[in-house]
Amino acid sequence: MIKRLTSNLVAKARQNGLDLLVSKTKELSQRVDRRGLALKIFMCILAVGLGLLFNRNFVDYLEATRVAQKAIEALSDMREYAPSKASLIWQGLGVFFALVSFLSSLWINERMGEERRSGFIVMALWFAAIAALLAWLPADILATKQAIAGKALAGEAPSIPAYIGKLFFIAVVISSIPVAAMVYFRLSLMDRYVVHSFLSPFSFCLLSFISIWVIADLTDNAPAFAGLPARDMLTFYVVQVPYVILFVMPIAVLLSALFSLSKMSKANEFISMVGSGRSVVRILAPIFIIGAYSSLISLAFKYEWAPSSVGYKEALIETANQERFALSNGTEIIQDVWAKRGWMHVNEVERRTWFVGRVPYKLSDEMADVVVWQLREDEQPEKIWKAMRAKWVWDAIPPKWILTEAQEWSYDEEQVPKWKSYAMLEIESWSETPWKVLSSSQNPEYLGLPGLSMYLDAHSDSEEESLASFRTNWWNIFSEPLTCLALVLVAAPLGIVYSRSNAMSGVAGAIAVFAMMYVMRGSFIALGHRGALPPFIAAWGTNFLVAALGVFLLWFRARNRDIPKVKEVFQTLIIRFGANRSTGG
């Protein structure tokens, strides 16, 4: 009798929990209709943004066409070409599809049925994705076709697999948005509830951390930005978005998983889900998929944009400080962005030495304060050139260097110099390219996968110690984004609690794991840069250890067993170690 009564009470509690869960998920599905306005706003912003981009490129095209026409009329020996019309055509198609996506979103309203509304949302997102792909990929391919053909702007030999990988990640990330919407609308009510429980705190954490970072960075760099136009400051922080998202994504994923699972556990919703027949791993599957998707987004940012944005930030801050110094001292202001000051390159084969006073952020841009020494076979100077600016013209036949405001010293056999001054001096005999002169000046921390691959291919015969930083960073491009998935594996079992007393212990344990991971990753990467650890181990070692810990903890939760405390684990190890020693004795 008592057993039957107990079983009835348990069944009733499970049914009440399931009814509550179903009612919440239905309420969630009804609430989604109210977000049609957010979708319309997003589509409008996309259409307006692509329209402005097309308008700017069209104006640039007309200006470049006018300049090219003047060059032809002046019989210039430099080959100046107007931009290709193909990129404008593709961008125009992108604007058209963006308008179609916006018009499609206007049809979405609360009176639609669930299936029809979902179909319109997915269709609008697909049109938006096609618009973004058409406006981005063809223009990028057309702009890079000269580099692929061996005619790069800085004379580098690009890595074709790395460039194809960049296009692949762009296409995957953009296309994944409508695909994710299609998958979401096909989920069961229970899976949708788990997804919504995670995404709500995740959105809040991501936006909060980004805002905190921007405020802190603005406070630190306020002196350097004093007097800069608001447009330049906005551009500066827009460029930093990939790096900031990559920086805050792991902690946002960790805290969101802890919060959502702890909340579901306290409300007995997790127990109700287990009582409905689902396993722990099946309940957590949507969160694991979101963690993998977060890693994919982070990998797309880490591939090239995030490292280059860090280098751009450092270069822009240095340039802003120099401009502020020039203003305070009444000297000339140079608006270009410089990545480094002072770099030397020695061409031992042709006995030529380069000194570059200001290294540009983009190697294809002009160098500043350049001095070039040409030595004879007896190591005595034959000629010396000094120039305010030096520009390599890659599309001239043959390619040539143009020195602006240059002075040339020629030395005879008795080392008596003769001096000449030129407003513009063209030199075709130099075999150096900007890549040959400046590639070694690049910081591996500021290079994405294409840049690292190009550097490693070009310097494959260098010593391993000099390449250790570049190889470690190459592997780190793939390993750092996977931190999100590794932390989800840890946060999921620690976030599931069956009593109020264990709630804080799981949060504290997860934060401790994150701190340990942060310290370990920094230490391993530093050892890899020094060559003390193999690059692969230095980049992936932390992820492997944390993921293994997460799988170990998940094994206990999947079997409805309490996670052992650290003290208990050490006591067990000590007891077993002592038993083994006594047996061996």
Question: Distance between CA 544 and CA 161 in Å, rounded?
Answer: 26
Amino acid, single-letter form, for residue 556:
F
Q: Rounded to the nearest 5°, which phi and psi values hold at 338? A: -110, 135
Which pLDDT band holds residue 2 (cuts at 50, 70, 90)? very low
Q: What's the number of CA atoms in the CB half-sphere (13 Å) around residue 91?
A: 22
Which pLDDT band holds residue 544 (cuts at 50, 70, 90)? very high
Which pLDDT band holds residue 4 (cuts at 50, 70, 90)? very low
What's the rounded mean pLDDT across residues 155-179? 83
pTM beyond 0.85, yes or no: no
- How crowded is residue 471: how many other Cβ atoms within 10 Å of its Cβ? 21
Q: With the C-alpha atoms ordered 536, 538, 541, 542, is the resulting torsion angle positive or negative?
A: negative
pLDDT attached to residue 184: 87
Structure tokens that stand for 302 in this block = 């880490």
Which residues pair with residue 385 across a beta bridge? 372, 408
What's the rounded mean pLDDT across residues 182-198? 88
Q: What is the pLDDT of residues 26-69, one digit of tens each?
A: 554 444 445 666 666 767 777 777 777 777 776 766 666 666 56
- How crowded is residue 19: how many other Cβ atoms within 10 Å of its Cβ? 11
Question: Distance between CA 498 and CA 407 in Å, rounded?
Answer: 80
pLDDT attached to residue 44: 74
pLDDT attached to residue 582: 59
Burial of 222 (0-12, 13-18, 19+ CB in 10 A): exposed
What's the rounded mean pLDDT across residues 430-446? 80
Q: What percent of the chain is predicted at pLDDT more than 90?
A: 8
- pLDDT of 5 over the 70 cut: no
Q: What is the pLDDT of residues 518-533, one digit of tens each?
A: 889 989 999 998 888 8
219 versus 361: the higher-pLDDT residue is 219
476 versus 73: the higher-pLDDT residue is 476
Question: Distance between CA 562 and CA 234 in Å, rounded?
Answer: 50
Which of these, 221, 184, 142, 150, lies nearest to 32 by C-alpha position? Answer: 184
pLDDT attached to residue 237: 78
CB 380 within 8 A of CB 415: yes
Question: Distance between CA 479 and CA 542 in Å, rounded?
Answer: 9
Structure tokens that stand for 68 in this block = 């090219």
Q: What is the pLDDT of residues 141-156, one digit of tens each?
A: 776 666 555 556 666 6
pLDDT attached to residue 281: 85
C-beta pairs of 570-578 under 8 Å, 24+ apart in sequence: none
What's the rounded mean pLDDT across residues 304-326? 73
**End-to-end distance of the chain based on CA atoms, in angstroms?**
57
Burial of 198 (0-12, 13-18, 19+ CB in 10 A): buried
569 versus 319: the higher-pLDDT residue is 319
pLDDT attached to residue 10: 41
514 versus 42: the higher-pLDDT residue is 514
- DSSP assigned state of 564: P
| Full 3-state SS string of 12-79 | HHHHHHHHHHHHHHHHHHHHHHHHHHHHHHHHHHHHHHHHHHHHHHHHHHHHHHHHHHHHHHCCCCCC
pLDDT attached to residue 16: 52
pLDDT attached to residue 293: 92
Question: Distance between CA 469 and CA 96 in Å, rounded?
Answer: 45
pLDDT attached to residue 23: 56
Question: Distance between CA 566 and CA 553 in Å, rounded?
Answer: 12
Which residues pair with residue 338 across a beta bridge? 360
Going edge to edge, which strands form the sheet with 367-375?
A: 338-347, 352-360, 367-375, 381-393, 400-411, 417-427
Structure tokens that stand for 267 in this block = 């409300």
Question: Distance between CA 545 and CA 49 in Å, rounded?
Answer: 43
What's the rounded mean pLDDT across residues 244-258? 89
Distance of CA 195 to the CA centre of its chain: 24
Question: Distance between CA 429 and CA 350 in Å, rounded?
Answer: 11
- pLDDT of 562 over the 70 cut: no
Q: What is the pLDDT of residues 199-230, one digit of tens each?
A: 888 988 888 888 888 888 878 777 766 666 67
| Full 3-state SS string of 162-227 | HHHHHHHHHHHHHHHHHHHHHHHHCCCHHHHHHHHHHHHHHHHHHHHHHHHHHHHHHHHCHHHHCC
Q: Is 505 strand, coil or helix? A: helix
Q: What percent of the chain is predicted at pLDDT more than 70?
A: 73
366 versus 327: the higher-pLDDT residue is 366
CB 228 within 8 A of CB 291: no
| Full 3-state SS string of 422-472 | EEEEEECCCCCCHHHHHHHHCCHHHCCHHHHHHHHHHCCCCCHHHHHHHHH
- pLDDT of 24 over the 60 cut: no
- pLDDT of 82 over the 50 cut: no
What's the rounded mean pLDDT across residues 353-379? 82
- pLDDT of 461 over the 90 cut: no
Question: Distance between CA 558 and CA 377 in Å, rounded?
Answer: 76
- pLDDT of 540 over the 90 cut: yes
Residue linked to tokens 């009798």: 1
pLDDT attached to residue 246: 87
Average pLDDT, the chain: 77
